[in-house]
Homo-oligomer: A and B are copies of this chain.
């Protein structure tokens, strides 16, 4: 976010909007405007023209930095995964026991989704399908990889790669499902306090966790990759 001013050595420092014509760092400015928009609005209200307007630039300038709207959305989603990863790691650093680490990382995940619902929805929209091999794919894999590392530390995965272990996918699906349902307001008329309901589900998952050793997955564990 603030590595904007660290330049790649060949292209000398780009001082703030030198002329009123060339913006300076439009790409980053557009992404920030997009993130700001998503903090207050639904994901489907995002508009290239609006972002350009807000950045004080013509509508078509956007196309110098993003192939199309989907590319901008993918960039926003990628930034979302990077921020999510940061929270996952922060949760991991604050605790010693691998089990507690995993629990707190899960809670951090839920907190992230709740605090940035529109961004979260964008991250898991179908945009990944078209931009899987770009920075979006990398950022998503990094986030999921961290989860795998944490699950691997907390449970005996019988030398399965944590990233493809059923246990990891299990945890991911549970936390993602909880996040998605919560965000979509599905718990709103189910419980007076949705947060308490979610926490009780988390507790249930923890209570059920101990025997979570993948015995059956040992046989068909694809080693390596």
Hey, which bits of chain A sit against chain B, CB under 8 A? 42, 44, 121, 124-126, 128-129, 132, 137, 140-141, 144, 163-164, 166-167, 169-170, 172-178, 180-181, 183-192, 197-198, 200-201, 203-205, 207-209, 211-212, 214-217, 222
Please report the C-alpha to C-alpha distance between residue A211 and residue B212 in the assembled complex, in whole angstroms.
12
Do A178 and B184 touch (CB < 8 A)? Answer: no
Do A184 and B132 touch (CB < 8 A)? Answer: no
Please report the C-alpha to C-alpha distance between residue A204 and residue B204 in the assembled complex, in whole angstroms.
16
Given that A42-B126, A176-B180, A177-B178 are known contacts, is A216 also in contact with B207, CB under 8 Å in the complex? yes
Do B201 and A169 touch (CB < 8 A)? Answer: yes
Do B164 and A172 touch (CB < 8 A)? Answer: no
How many copies of this chain are found per oligomer? 2
For A167, A169, A183, which residue has the most chain B Cβ atoms within 10 angstroms? A169
Nearest CB on B from A137, distance (A) = 8
Do A187 and B170 touch (CB < 8 A)? Answer: no
What residues of B have a CB within 8 angstroms of the CB of A203 in the complex?
Answer: 166, 216
What residues of B have a CB within 8 angstroms of the CB of A132 in the complex?
Answer: 185, 188-189
Please report the C-alpha to C-alpha distance between residue A124 and residue B205 in the assembled complex, in whole angstroms.
23
For A128, A141, A174, A209, which residue has the most chain B Cβ atoms within 10 angstroms? A174
Please report the C-alpha to C-alpha distance between residue A207 and residue B170 in the assembled complex, in whole angstroms.
12
What residues of B have a CB within 8 angstroms of the CB of A191 in the complex?
Answer: 164
Do B184 and A128 touch (CB < 8 A)? Answer: yes
Given that A176-B180, A180-B177 are known contacts, is A167 also in contact with B197, CB under 8 Å in the complex? no
